[in-house]
Amino acid sequence: MKGQCYLLIEESFQFSALCPHLSQILYLRDIEKKTMKTTLLLLLFVGTTTFLNAQLYSGKIGKFSIYLQVDPASENGEVYGRYFYNSACVDIPFEGKKTGTKLTFYAGSFFKEQDQKEKFSLVLKGSSLSGTWTYNGKSLKVVLKSISEKAIANPFKKNPFVKENTYFNGYEHLRSSLASFVALDSFTNLKNGIQLQWYKEKHWNSVLFRVTKGLPQATMTWVNNYMESEQLGDFCSRGMCGFGEESEYSSDLTDYFVNADFLSTNILTAYYCGGAHPDFSSRKTILDLKNLRELNTEDILQFNGVVDRKSDEDYNEAWFTYREESFAPTVMELLKTNYPDQFMAEGNEEECAYDDPSVWSISDVMITENGLMFSAYFYRAARSCDDPEWAVLSYSQLSEYLNPVYKNALLSIGKP
């Protein structure tokens, strides 16, 4: 199974090869929308059962508090897992062997040799693990106690978006309980009377706003719960990316729009979590502030044969077909009419093949002052072509395709 995970990571996510936890990476739903259909299905299959049966521990290495997750041993005794120091919340993966009640783990990057890693020599007794941690000639006592997530209070579970999202269960319940968002003395006052306040997460300084004025209180509460859950998700994703001198993860709000009807954002995530290359992508969000619901592109924009992307199935064949056969060609032709130079390879700086409909097939949109902004998604080597800033179509140009429910609200954007 480990070999499978390396292959999947190299072809899609490039995360460190923690095979049992690949299912969690799907939280980054918008970061890797560009992955192939088959890869998504494989990722849903690989490791889910193991992850659900993982055992959680709380305790200390020397004086340092940690949380640890260990997965059930394979038939030949192989064991995989990860842990993090409560002060840092960043995963350190481990692999090893379980022989009877004895467990030996080697922790650190999977690309390091065994003698370069931390070594855990532990004994399982009842619900406890105890033994020693050794690294670089230093040895510390290890004492761990098996726990359930219910034993650890998580203040963010008061947030409905966090409580209802199974991503924040189990190991991520433990990690997310340690996040802390600090309100900065930094405000943005929009011309429509809406005020934003910026919040920073203390561990690695990610920043995202909350709405503090200009909307009904119930709306602001709902929006701020949503924004908190987004920032908390990025906090956990950063921790899951892993440690090491070469590991990098950043999440930045590159654009946003807020009025009485909609809140829309574009968040760029850049990461290197192991594998051949670093990567980046964006996720676009649209919130309906009148009805307090998250929207997807099909809620806003409806071309011929539109199909709702929501499905009880893991893979929505009808939606992919609609995107490939109707959505992508229509978007490409509309953009080509407005920006003909961008559709000639010599006309754009990176020689990006924007005239290939497939690069628009899983595009999401963001609401902006000037129209809907579209995404393009390319293969890794051409990732710099993603998310072109010029790919905006005005609401009037899209008028015949706008969902009637939101058409008037969209057409009124930018008007006095």
- H or E stretch covering 76: none
For the chain of 416 residues, list the mean pLDDT of each consecutive stretch of 10.
30 33 34 34 38 86 97 93 95 94 88 77 96 96 96 97 95 97 97 97 92 98 98 93 74 95 94 77 94 96 90 79 96 96 69 90 94 90 86 97 97 86
Confidence at residue 380, expressed as pLDDT on a 0 to 100 scale: 77
Cross-strand partners of 125: 128
What's the Cα-to-Cα distance from 59 to each of 62, 83, 88, 130, 146, rounded to whole Å?
Answer: 9, 11, 15, 10, 9
Residue 87 exposed, middle or buried by CB count within 10 Å (0-12, 13-18, 19+): exposed
Other CB atoms within 10 A of residue 8 CB: 22
- List CB contacts of 111: < 8 A, sequence separation 6 or more: 274
Let me know the angle formed at the C-alpha of 201 by 195 and 202, rounded to the nearest 5 degrees.
130
Residue 24's pLDDT is: 34
Q: What is the DSSP string of 225-292?
A: HHHHHHHHHHHHHHHHH--STT-EEEEEEEEEEE-SSEEEEEEEEEEEBSSS--EEEEEEEEEETTTT
Q: Is 340 left (phi over 0), alpha (psi -120 to 50) or beta?
A: alpha
CATH class of 58-147: mainly beta
Q: What is the pTM of this model?
A: 0.86
The residues that bridge with 213 in the sheet, in sequence order, are 195
The per-residue pLDDT for 115 is: 67
Please tell me if the domain spanning 58-147 has the same topology as the one spanning 154-295. Answer: no
What is d(CA 232, CA 279) in angstroms, rounded to the nearest whole number? 21
Beta bridge partners of 197: 187, 210
The single-letter code of the amino acid at 298 is E
- Domain coordinates of the chain in residue numbers? 1-53, 58-147, 154-295, 296-416
| Per-residue model confidence (pLDDT) at position 42 | 36
Look at the domain 154-295 and name its fold: Heat Shock Protein 90 (3.30.565)
Vertex 21, ends 57 and 271: CA angle to 5°?
110
